Structure 1
Amino acid sequence: MPNKITQIFNIKYPIIQAGMVWNSGWRLASAASNSGILGLIGAGSMYPEVLREHIQKCKKATDNPFGVNVPMLYPDIGKIMDIIVEEDVKIVFTSAGNPKTWTSWLKDKGITVVHVVSSVKFALKAKEAGVDAVVAEGFEAGGHNGRDETTTLALIPMVKEQIQIPLIAAGGIATGQAMLAAMVLGADGVQVGSRFVASEESSAHDAFKKVVVNAKEGDTQLTLKELAPVRIIKNKFYNDVQELYKTSPTPEQLKELLGRARAKRGMFEGDLVEGELEIGQVAGLIHDIKPVSQIVRDMLREFEEAKSKVSSL
């Protein structure tokens, strides 16, 4: 399935495994890369030396390309970037920040740079910064989202209309049918997050994985927009946030309730009551926990079947 995305990353299929905090360690990234797609290590939940360890283990587990996702709000981002260069990682996905800050620095070192955006405005800024490709993520996605709440169905063609560099669709994509739909809308490839959370190789806690596969339509909600919009599963923590909203809280009060390490507590440690359980709306279509290799095979089969059905219309 060669195209712009497979050529840029030297992979077999135009699918990216999202670099999600507390879910995307070296086991997930290497399994993804070994399946012919691009695996990403999620640096946002790792101390610098922990990231180094994951990169080194990933190198031993796969001979195929893999990358690192770096949220640019990370406090030790300079150390993270230095480790990426020292360990000779050739692909970096940046998010949650200004792409101009690091794109030129990374590209000068021979690194392919992709930036994650949630709007046409930020896609244009990423293009101007010189990135090699853009991930346009609709607000169906799990975790932190854009403030405009633009859906993937609307976002992808609008971004495609404005940029010529390769475009990767994200948000609500967990099946081959969704992959085909995104590519019909103008995407050159897709980034998949939630479906890989519910994989055997994900570093998420088993209790969180089970919540994901049991989730139904309407079980997630975008909240905490005054801080950084985040889509989470409705649990006690979510209900506490909604109760606080009834008092018209200040951002400081919301921060106090959020506290520290809520996401780690929920997704990595398995606290389903007080933890922040980040997952996308598409969780309602995820019904089992599978090896990454099987998830990729299923997506590719669904993609081809959907393509055949469409061509017969």
Structure 2
Amino acid sequence: MLPPILSALRIPVVASPMFIVSGPELVIAQCKAGIVGSFPALNAREKDGEPPLLDAWLTRIAEELDRHNQANPDRPAAPFAVNQIVHRSNARLERDIEICHRHRVPIWITSLGARAEVNHAAHDCGGIALHDVINDVFARKAIDKGADGLIAVAAGAGGHAGPLSPFALVQEIRDWFDGPLLLSGAIATGRAVLAAQAMGADLAYVGSPFIATAEANAPEDYKRMIVDSGAMDIVTSSLFTGVSGNYLAPSIRAAGMDPDKLDSADPSSMNFGGNAAKAKAWSQIWGSGQGIGAVRDIVPAATRIDRLAAEYAAARAAICG
């Protein structure tokens, strides 16, 4: 059974937090349109000596969604989520946890390591904690450490994608876990959202289609590349972060590299502590999942969500019919 915070969405979709791309504008638009909007805490980067930008972002999101709810009591906004990278190299983690706890963030998404203290902080302020996993072993560890739900990151997902088929991954998790389960991996249409539920997931975790939206914090060339590319344009590599991820081959070529001849990197090279030189070197290498063949234009996020909702309803009607 889904917790109340996830059970009243317009459609069963959580927008995934995307590095750089997800910010307040996109999150607010997603929530107003009826799905959970999210962003990585590390996207809120202030200059040295300035107050935490994360604090300002959370204040803005809460205030704008509150204004929307007061003006639209018949269609309130969906809740929002903040993603915490709990890898040991994230020097900001404790600070960001304190800020999210103070703002009573309703949904916490954790990645790259399960930490009991992060789940405790989420629960202590009335929130829920969802942890993303790429296999059943990590899923069991996350629940053992207090996560409320799981995000199964399957093959084809954007960002740090797992290698397993969504059928296999959801099947193994559902064999023992009956709590909230989200599925990530090439989900770009309402029909795919329904398919995720048919496999056993409660909600779909959708990212790459929202890169090609007006509110996304992405260069226009990146948005256009999403529109112009398809599944065959996605390359899997560990070179850029130390963990296997999916990237747009045209962006790799534009950076002067051959996407078919990329070196590998060891997981020990992962660094979320603000390595500016490395970040700048890979800043034009753009991530994406394999589902972007369904993305054919750049539109406002609300329009994209309207389409997902219409496709989802049509798919349900067709199957029931």
Q: TM-score, normalised by structure 2?
A: 0.83
Q: Shift of residue 87 of structure 1?
A: 2.1
Partner amino acid, structure 2, of 1:89: V
Quote how far apart the aligned CAs of 1:52 are. 1.7
The answer to whether the 8 A contact 1:152-1:172 is kept is: no
1:229 to 221, 235, 244: 244
Equivalent residue letter for 1:231: N
State the alpha-carbon separation in 1 of the partners of residues 265 and 84 from structure 2: 29
The code of the aligned residue for 1:77 comes to: L
Unaligned ranges ≥5, structure 2: 47-51, 67-76, 271-275
> What amino acid does structure 2 have at the position aligned with 1:239?
M
Q: How does 1:150-161 map to 2 (within 5 A)?
A: 150-161=164-175
Q: 1:264 to 1:209 in 2, by over 3 A?
A: farther
Tell me what 1:47 maps to. 45
Closer/same/farther in 2, CA of residues 196 and 296 from structure 1, 3 Å limit = same
**Structure 1 residue 72 and structure 2 residue 86: aligned?**
yes
**From 100, 120, 130, the counterpart of 2:116:** 100
Alpha-carbon distance between aligned partners in 2 of 1:290 and 1:115, rounded to the nearest angstrom: 30
Larger mean Cα displacement after TM superposition, 286-295 or 217-226: 217-226
Structure 1 residue 210 corresponds to structure 2 residue 219: no
**Residue of structure 1 equivalent to 2:25:** 27
Deviation by residue 1:250-289 (Cα, 9 ceiling, x = unmatched): 749x88xx96115872xxxxxxxxx211000111221111
One-letter amino acid matched to 1:187: A
Q: Which one-letter code corresponds to 1:53 in the other structure?
A: A
Q: Which residue, out of 17, 34, 37, partners 2:35?
A: 37
Please report the TM-score for the alignment, with normalisation by the length of structure 1: 0.85
- Once the two structures are superposed, the pairs formed by residues 1-313 of structure 1 within 5 Å of their partners are 4=2, 7-8=5-6, 11-47=9-45, 49-63=52-66, 64=77, 65-73=79-87, 74-146=90-162, 149-224=163-238, 227-234=242-249, 235-236=252-253, 237=255, 239-240=257-258, 242-243=260-261, 245=263, 251=266, 260-262=278-280, 265=283, 275-312=284-321
2:248 and 2:287 in contact (8 A); partners too: yes
What CA distance in whole angstroms lies between the structure 2 residues aligned with 1:28 and 1:244? Answer: 32
Q: How many residues align?
A: 294
Structure 1 gap ranges (5+): 266-274
| Change in CA separation of 1:161 and 1:222 when aligned onto 2, cut-off 3 Å | same
Q: Secondary structure at the match of 1:261?
A: helix
- For the residue of structure 2 that corresponds to 1:140, the secondary structure is coil
Shift of 1:75: 2.4
Q: Is the 8 A contact 2:24 2:61 kept in 1?
A: yes
- The SS at the match of 1:231 is strand
CA distance in 1, matches of 2:39, 2:143: 23
Identity of aligned residues (%): 26
1-structure distance, mates of 2:277, 2:242:
12
Task: List per-residue Cα deviations over 1:123-163 (Å, max 9, x = no partner).
Answer: 111221222211111120111123xx102233222222221
1:224-249, CA deviations, whole angstroms, 9 ceiling, x for partnerless residues? 2792111101122483565453xxx7
In 2, the alpha carbon distance for the partners of 1:228 and 1:260 equals: 15
Q: Residues 143 and 304 (structure 1 numbering): CA distance in 2 closer, same or farther, change over 3 Å?
A: same
Q: What is the CA RMSD across the aligned residues, in angstroms?
A: 2.6
Whole-angstrom CA distance in 2 between matches of 1:5 and 1:263: 42
Q: Distance in 1 between matches of 2:173 and 2:124?
A: 26
How far is the alpha carbon of 1:168 from its aligned partner?
0.9
Q: Is the partner of 2:305 in helix, strand or coil?
A: helix
Structure 1 residues 242 and 44, CA gap change in structure 2 (3 angstroms): farther
